[in-house]
Structure 1
């Protein structure tokens, strides 16, 4: 019997859940299947998480922390508003490409039969992404790169573009790369 350090098992559970979400068929994930995948009992899962919803919350927290940490870095590294928008867009698409299971959480597919507050939380994340676009586009407006009156419209368009690319990636069984032709498409959108 191997001894795991505190927090390791929790991480192992979340990694296994994310891995199971990479299944292109998108079948409903049960705690029994998740426990079997990492060779533990369901009781072990429930020692670390009170519910399956809490497991998904763990994935959502990872997504949120990662994405907004990277958006903050981009905002600090690039003072040019249009460059910020390009970098944020490519980061969001690359994140999905590197994390197919997380993409199913981002688009809400993995949350369909789960607690509705999880989808509400993902909707808040999408609102925050749109807000990040607005901030970068306001910067571009101040810099004379775009009309300031277009900030909200462009932010919504870019958010919809990213969401659409994520959706297509998941719906094609992770075959249609979200980053393919993305730099040129983002340039056209701007």
Structure 2
């Protein structure tokens, strides 16, 4: 569930205000956008955005695929696409201003030697409870990171070593080995 999540940014919103009257409206809006049930939307983080000036609230959630299959969640890419394309509908139903997504951490191309950048999510379950007038909420904070992976056919700390699958001579009976890394 956690790895199939996305974080949306809500403008002019605080944790307390979101948790009291607006939590259920937001979940209903997400459910309507995704054609799933309200009970199939799982909000597990509500956190003030500290990277910007202003009152921006980051809300992280995942959602079950329509059809009621347990433990079958929207992949995060599809979830992000559906929410982005239907942002105006979500804003109308939830009565909240939904901002565009933050840039993907890999867009800055931090990896060298043709390494592929992969976004990695980790989670911190030790943050304190958040209380509002009607809700006591224990968040699970997502922590965005990245990992650099070597392209097919290479290995090593800096992808400097080419993998030769034929090196050990695996073919017998006059067979000819052809190295086919990545394809």
User: TM-score normalised to the size of structure 1?
Assistant: 0.21
Choose between structure 1 and 2: higher helix proportion.
1
Computing the radius of gyration from Cα coordinates, the structure with the larger value is: 2
Choose between structure 1 and 2: higher strand proportion.
2
